[in-house]
Amino acid sequence: MSQRTVVTQPRPFIQTAASSQWTSGICDCFKDLPQCCFAFWCLPCFTCKTTHEAGECLCLPLLDMFGVIPPITTAVRVSVRQRYGIEGTICNDCVHACFCGPCTWCQIAREIRTRSNPIIFVN
């Protein structure tokens, strides 16, 4: 019987997730189904949790109920975009906040989660 000795172990390829684009699209809610369900069933709780993860005041999103244009959703989206160097305009942020509120919050939460854990192991 001959035994073969392994001299070197295979190493994973390490790739960082830093980019000037969003890591997921506005309609990619099904990439993270638990968050999607949480946002669908209890959007006020989800927005407060996400705002807290973004480093802002916990109850700030509750002010969105008093305006036609959701100012807090727009502001948090702009803040996350600027923090991570994501390209875009405040006009696009405002449009997403007005017409796709829950999807916008899901995208913000996915971005915070992805950017806070930037190392991806690829075999």
Indicate whether 52 belongs to any domain. yes
Indicate whether 107 belongs to any domain. yes
Indicate whether 87 belongs to any domain. yes
What are the CA-CA distances from residue 15 to residues 12, 18, 118 (Å)? Answer: 9, 9, 8
Q: How far apart are the first and last CA of the chain?
A: 31
Q: What pLDDT, on the 0 to 100 scale, is given for residue 31?
A: 84
Indicate whether 118 belongs to any domain. no
Q: What pLDDT, on the 0 to 100 scale, is given for residue 104?
A: 93
Verdict on whether the full-model pTM lies above 0.85: no
What are the CA-CA distances from residue 100 to residues 20, 29, 96 (Å)? Answer: 22, 11, 5
Q: What pLDDT, on the 0 to 100 scale, is given for residue 14?
A: 47
Report how many domains make up the chain.
1
10-residue block means of pLDDT along the chain (123 residues)? Answer: 65 58 87 90 92 88 78 92 92 91 93 80 62
User: Cα dihedral angle (30, 61, 79, 70), rounded to 10 degrees?
Assistant: 90
Indicate whether 59 belongs to any domain. yes
Indicate whether 41 belongs to any domain. yes
**58: containing domain:** 21-113
